[in-house]
Structure 1
Amino acid sequence: MLAMSQQLLINLDEFNQISPRVQQGFLKNIIQLPSIKAKRPYGTRIEELPRKASFIATSNMTDILADPSGNRRFIGIELTAPIDTTRVPNHRQLFAQALQLLRNGHRCWFDKAETEQIMLWNHRYEVQEPADQYFDLCFAIAQDPFDENAEWMSAAEIFDVIKRKVGASLKVNSLISFGRKLANLQGMRRRKCETGARYLVVRRDA
């Protein structure tokens, strides 16, 4: 936490070793903090300090993002060749350009459309649970709400259909997380009912 007020960049090596619980809780929270509260070494009180640091992370695996509500806080980049370390970036010029953009009022956050693009791009880096993988085998996202085969189903009903087809060994860590993943599928229609959220899907065998 203190490093966030002192460093410009914090590297999280072997990101795949960070558990989904930590990703969805602690890490998700600190990544978006505008300031941090910490006690300096030999300090006598807790201070509120401006957050300066951004985060980068490395991994040799591709299925690493585990937030079922959407991984909008990350931008996945897959290296296709060795990094050229013989050339030193002109950091002074880069910071000068960034500062000039800010002074000119350039937007420094992602709008809704850009956020949706990031989430769509990051879908390839998400951790896939067995139930997520079997969803495409059993269901399709309804393109037409007036399709006679389209059904409004809850996450529990969808999972029950998958489990009947795949077998009793199929388990899901949380139906809430499964529902969040369904809600973030591209093109999925969702509505709230008295019994909870329902999703418009078509059974593959319909």
Structure 2
Amino acid sequence: MVKYRMPYDKHVEEHPHMAGFVASVNGNDFLTDPTGSRRFLPFEVLSIDINRARAVSMDAVYAEAKSLLQSGFRYWFNDEEIAELYHESEAFLVQTAEMGLLLRCFELPTTDSDCSYLTTTEILTYLGTYTRQPLKAKRLGEALKRVGYIKVSRRRNGGSPLYVYKIRKILPCPLLQSCSSNM
């Protein structure tokens, strides 16, 4: 059971926790939540034997599922399975403009001496000079985390600590070359 308030209801109530959803999509990039989601179990189907699929008794499938549920079968994911699901789902994520620009203009530093320490806003401002697309700090932060950039707290000129990323600009910026070749 799950407790939640339905839209326009006054009180929180218990509701059975159930769901079922099957879909097909064209293309591999359809997940839009880079923070991870246990709601979707994406996988690629390479072929379907339609005659064999039609021969499966759905009544038997539902009977087996009901039997497993009534026997106490663990139907939820444990932490290890969640980590595996997130890892496998990455192949199905939509690449945001922020991720694409980040991958083209920056790279992970190999040493502390060849890196800059930039805030999300500073990175966003830099990327914004090369595109007319509206960029979002939240999506850039998610992209930075997903790629593996390290967020650290640093002081600048003795001021308050700021959260910055260890990052290395690719110079000259590859976007500068692609912009000039398109003109």
2:30 is matched with which residue?
64
- 8 A Cα contact 1:35 1:49, kept in partner: yes
* Gaps in structure 2 of 5+ consecutive residues: 155-159, 173-183
2:87 is matched with which residue?
120
CA RMSD of superposed structures (Å):
3.3
Between the aligned partners of 2:164 and 2:20, the Cα distance in structure 1 is 36
Distance 1:170 1:37, change over 3 A: closer
Q: Kindly, what percent of the aligned residue pairs are identical?
A: 16
Between the aligned partners of 1:177 and 1:117, the Cα distance in structure 2 is 23
Could you give the per-residue CA deviations for residues 137-179 of structure 1, whole angstroms, max 9, x where no partner exists? 111234x5x4321333222222233334xx242321x212321
- 8 A Cα contact 1:131 1:171, kept in partner: no
Higher-Rg structure is: 2
- Aligned residue pair count: 159
2:166 is matched with which residue?
200
Residue from 137, 147, 159 that aligns with 1:175: 137
1:22 is matched with which residue?
none
* Gaps in structure 1 of 5+ consecutive residues: 1-32, 40-44
Distance 1:123 1:53, change over 3 A: same
1:78 aligns with 2:44: yes
Give the CA deviation at 1:47.
7.8
1:24 is matched with which residue?
none
Between the aligned partners of 1:122 and 1:59, the Cα distance in structure 2 is 15
- 8 A Cα contact 1:38 1:49, kept in partner: no
- 8 A Cα contact 2:120 2:137, kept in partner: yes
